[in-house]
Amino acid sequence: MEARPLRLPLSAADVLALRAGDACLLSGPMLTARDAAHRRLVDTLHAGRPLPVALTDATVYYTGPTPARPGMVIGAAGPTTAGRLDPYTPALLAAGARALIGKGARGPAVSAALQQCRAVYFAAIGGAGAYLRTCIRTCTVAAYADLGTEAIYCLTVVNFPVIVAHDAHGGSVYAAPAAARASS
């Protein structure tokens, strides 16, 4: 299967054209955020205060990159298990995030929010943080610098490989095929 090149930020039409299982190569800007940053973002939203980063049409990559070695843009930047972020995800999607990247399946509330907000969840290859860093061209702290590796970073990526894991239509690569469900 040939990977589909996509330019970030994704448009609504881009997202609606994607189906679970599609291989994609992402190029453009994305934000990083892990548990602590998600908690702060949602607390900020609930308090009615402005966010420190714009989420409208944003792609959010669940990673906490390791420090860069001399001469490198970033250290290893592998995906975090996304299920830990499920409690925060619907609020961030409602705030405008269009695409999410992590590893592992998402719960029913996230799947419903992806459909409602017309957003997509991509899976990146777990254990491949050293390889994925080679797709990252720039890395700057965007917010919450005090969180260290869990700060929000702005990355620029080129040909960052992902698979559509949950699409905006309710499709999921983690769902058992209908024939297997019927026979069990």
What CATH number is attached to the domain comprising 97? Answer: 3.20.130.10
Q: Evaluate whether 160 touches 98 at the Cβ level (below 8 Å).
A: no
User: How does pLDDT run across 15-60, given as a tens digit for each residue?
Assistant: 999 999 999 999 999 999 999 999 999 999 999 999 999 999 999 9
Q: Give a yes or no: residue 162 inside a domain.
A: yes
User: How does pLDDT run across 66-102, given as a tens digit for each residue?
Assistant: 989 999 999 999 999 999 999 999 999 999 999 999 9
User: How does pLDDT run across 122-140, given as a tens digit for each residue?
Assistant: 999 988 999 999 999 999 9
Q: Give a yes or no: residue 183 inside a domain.
A: no
Answering whether pTM is above 0.85, one says yes
Residue 178 confidence (pLDDT) above 80: no
Q: Give a yes or no: residue 179 inside a domain.
A: no
Q: Evaluate whether 139 touches 160 at the Cβ level (below 8 Å).
A: no
pLDDT score at 177: 64
Nearest CA to 121 among 97, 94, 140, 150? 97
Structural domains of the chain, count: 1
pLDDT score at 181: 44
- Domain of residue 29 covers 4-171
Q: Give a yes or no: residue 177 inside a domain.
A: no
Q: Give a yes or no: residue 176 inside a domain.
A: no
Alpha-carbon distance of 88 to 81, in angstroms, equals 14
pLDDT score at 62: 98
Q: Give a yes or no: residue 36 inside a domain.
A: yes
HSE, CB side, 13 Å, CA atoms: give it for residue 10.
28
Phi then psi for residue 135, to 5 deg, are: -90, -5
